[in-house]
C-alpha cells in the first residue's frame, strides 16, 4: 500500500513539473476552491482602510467570451464577499454578500485568509 502511494506521489510530481506555472496555479486554485477558503479582501486609500470584504472563497480573473471565444484574460478580477461596512472583521447580520470587481490597475489592496 505504501509503495503504491509513493508511486502516485512521484507520478503526480512528474506531471506537475511538466506543467507551466500558470497551469500549476490553475490546478492549485481548483484544489483550493474544492477545499474552500475564508478570504478577506481589503482596499486602502493611502494608509487608511476604506473597504473590506469577508468570506471570499475565490477571486476569478475575467476571460473574454465573444469574438472567437479565445478565452483571453480581461483586465479585472471579480468575486463575491460580505461587505464589512463597519470594518469590524465580523459578518454582521445586516451586512450582505455582494459582487465586486478589482481592476488590474488597482494597487492598494490585499487578499489574505481570515485569521479568526
C-alpha 11/C-alpha 112 separation (Å) is: 31
Three-state DSSP class for residue 105: coil
- Whether the pLDDT of residue 87 is over 50: the answer is yes
Beta bridge partners of 44: 49
Write down the pTM of the prediction.
Answer: 0.63
**Partners of 41 in the β-ladder:** 53, 111
What is the spatial distance between Cα 53 and Cα 79, in angstroms, rounded to a whole number? 10
Residue 93's pLDDT band (cuts 50, 70, 90)? very high
pLDDT at 97: 95
Higher pLDDT, 111 or 19: 111
Q: Which three cell numbers stand for residue 30?
A: 481548483
* 27 in Cβ contact with 48 (< 8 Å): no
Percent of the chain whose predicted confidence (pLDDT) is above 70: 63
Amino acid at each position: 500500500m505504501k509503495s503504491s502511494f509513493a508511486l502516485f506521489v512521484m507520478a503526480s510530481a512528474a506531471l506537475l513539473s511538466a506543467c507551466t506555472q500558470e497551469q500549476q496555479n490553475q490546478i492549485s486554485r481548483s484544489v483550493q476552491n474544492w477545499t474552500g477558503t475564508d478570504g478577506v479582501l481589503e482596499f486602502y486609500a493611502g494608509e487608511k482602510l476604506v473597504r473590506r470584504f469577508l468570506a471570499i472563497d475565490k477571486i476569478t480573473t475575467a476571460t473574454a467570451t465573444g469574438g472567437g471565444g479565445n478565452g483571453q484574460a480581461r483586465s479585472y478580477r471579480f468575486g463575491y464577499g460580505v461587505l464589512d461596512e463597519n470594518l469590524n472583521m465580523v459578518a454582521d447580520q445586516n451586512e450582505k454578500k455582494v459582487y465586486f470587481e478589482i481592476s488590474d490597475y488597482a494597487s492598494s489592496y490585499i487578499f489574505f485568509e481570515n485569521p479568526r
